[in-house]
Amino acid sequence: MAIVTDKGEILPEDYTLLMAVKFSLGKKAGLVVTNLSTTQALDDVAAEFNCAVKRTKIGDVHVSRCMKEEKAVIGGEGNGGVIIPEVHYARDGIAAIALLLDYLTDTNEPVSELANKLPHYYMVKKKQAFAGQDFSLIKNKLEEQFKPESLDFLDGVKITLEDGWIHIRPSGTEPVIRIITEAKTK
């Protein structure tokens, strides 16, 4: 789900989850669950409320399962999907819209102002043809080049750097490899 501001600007897809989490944690603190490729800004928003973020493999089924197991108060993925356990453990655009309308009513601020108050990172998403190749070769090469503490192998390879991160993973739906990077600056 994407949000359009009062100024006609289409917000990045992850802002839907960021706004939903900010409003929800303001009402009820607790764990937030998302996937490895969701923006670091989510961790920043959760930290404002002294709340933790737990990351899972890509896919709302993984996020939902973890939310249920960990009793998370909200979760979702950076692609705009929001999961509100008080409603049910599935992405629900209507429930997300209702939550965001409640947020707008509570704050009495336009969407553009709420968006400006969110932490901002620069994210780039690319995909590369990758049919029938062995991902472990890429994984092994990355293990040689980066410190072990900076690597996460939960879903492909996520490399945490001093000023950002890179997530490389084979797609579960196409014969491609997905490369997602994020940093505070371009």
- Dump pLDDT digits (tens) for 27-57: 999 999 999 999 999 999 999 999 999 999 9
Are residues 95 and 133 both part of a single domain? no
CA neighbor of 15 nearest in space, from 98, 86, 112, 84: 112
Are residues 25 and 111 both part of a single domain? yes
List the CATH number of the domain containing 110.
3.40.120.10
CA distance 21 to 42: 8
Are residues 173 and 105 both part of a single domain? no
Are residues 97 and 29 both part of a single domain? yes
Are residues 29 and 99 both part of a single domain? yes
Are residues 95 and 153 both part of a single domain? no
Q: Is residue 6 part of a domain?
A: no
Are residues 97 and 149 both part of a single domain? no
User: What pLDDT digit, counting tens, does each position of 85-107 carry?
Assistant: 999 999 999 999 999 999 999 99
Q: Is residue 100 part of a domain?
A: yes
Looking at residue 132, its pLDDT comes to 78
- pLDDT tens digits in sequence order for the chain, 186 residues long: 889 999 999 999 999 999 999 999 999 999 999 999 999 999 999 999 999 999 999 999 999 999 999 999 999 999 999 999 999 999 999 999 999 999 999 999 999 999 999 999 999 999 999 987 899 999 999 999 999 999 999 999 999 999 999 999 999 899 999 999 999 998
Cβ-contact 37, 180 below 8 angstroms: yes
Looking at residue 85, its pLDDT comes to 97
Are residues 24 and 90 both part of a single domain? yes
Looking at residue 133, its pLDDT comes to 84
Are residues 29 and 104 both part of a single domain? yes
CA distance 55 to 62: 9
Cβ-contact 76, 82 below 8 angstroms: yes
Identify the domain containing residue 62 by its residue range. 14-116
Domain count, the chain: 2
Q: Is residue 9 part of a domain?
A: no
Are residues 49 and 127 both part of a single domain? no
Q: Is residue 19 part of a domain?
A: yes
Looking at residue 1, its pLDDT comes to 83
CA neighbor of 65 nearest in space, from 94, 97, 33, 95: 33
What are the two backbone dihedrals, phi and then psi, of residue 9, each rounded to the nearest 5 degrees?
A: -85, 135
Are residues 25 and 63 both part of a single domain? yes
Looking at residue 172, its pLDDT comes to 87
CA distance 104 to 124: 29
Q: Is residue 81 part of a domain?
A: yes
List the CATH number of the domain containing 166.
3.30.310.50
Determine the distance from the C-alpha atom of residue 38 to the mean position of all C-alpha atoms in its chain, rounded to a whole number.
2
